[in-house]
Amino acid sequence: MALRIGDDAPNFQVETTEGAIDFHEWLGDSWGILYSHPADYTPVCTTELGRTAQLAPEFAKRNTKVLAVSVDDLESHQGWIKDINETQNTEVNFPIIADPDRVVANLYDMIHPNASATATVRSVFFIGADKKIKASLTYPASTGRNFAEILRVIDSLQLTANFSVATPADWIQGQDVVITPAIKTEDIPAKFPKGHTIIKPYLRMTPQPDK
């Protein structure tokens, strides 16, 4: 069964390019991103892993750890990392899971048989510090992921976990947010002292509360 938002993120023990890990212990009190790659030495994945490494300061700023998985073995991963570092002008600085038996791929439903019986699709799971699935994205193998969107989703998830707000279409850090319908209009000034705008009774906007 596919994992859904709010489900517990399944734990696992695996070998990675940075040693053996227990997923939940490795996460600790951090947020996490677990994302899959169809195979080693594939061109789109090479650019994605390189981009992940380049964005290490951005993930760290968000208290988010990144863990990649590919269905190849550790020896293959280590050789591939050399290519990634060379071609993407970076240093891979996060673990890549060796998953030749497809344990993690199956646990997280990353293999979609109608696309490929052996290679994973491009799955992204956003996992909270409470070890629950907060969001997920799925792309075909032919479409590389947009890392600006991945960071934007983390920002939205972390903001809305702490305040009674939602983020509107195309929202990015620093922009106004939507006050959730559960907040009564008369209670808004106390909860959102930066001010608010009532566009419709159900559409109330306020400046981002943590900025």
- Whole-model pTM above 0.75? yes
Residue 141 has what pLDDT?
81
Task: Quote the pLDDT of residue 1.
Answer: 59
pLDDT average, residue stretch 104-123: 72
Could you give the CA distance from residue 187 to residue 183 in angstroms, rounded to a whole number?
7
The pLDDT of residue 121 is: 64
Containing 58, the helix (H) or strand (E) segment is helix 56-61
| The three-state (H, E, C) secondary structure of 76-136, written as one string | HHHHHHHHHHHHHCCCCCCCEEECCCCHHHHHCCCCCCCCCCCCCCEEEEEECCCCEEEEE
Please check the confidence at residue 209 and state whether its pLDDT lies above 70.
yes
pLDDT reported for residue 37: 85
CATH class of 13-159: alpha beta
pLDDT beyond 70 at 173: yes
Point out the residues that are catalytic. Answer: 45
User: Which pLDDT score, from 0 to 100, does residue 92 have?
Assistant: 97
* Percentage of residues of the chain with pLDDT beyond 70: 95
Q: How many CA atoms lie within 13 A of 42 on its CB side?
A: 20
What residues does CATH 3.40.30.10 cover in the chain? 13-159
Higher pLDDT, 102 or 155: 155
Region 113-125: what's the mean pLDDT?
A: 67
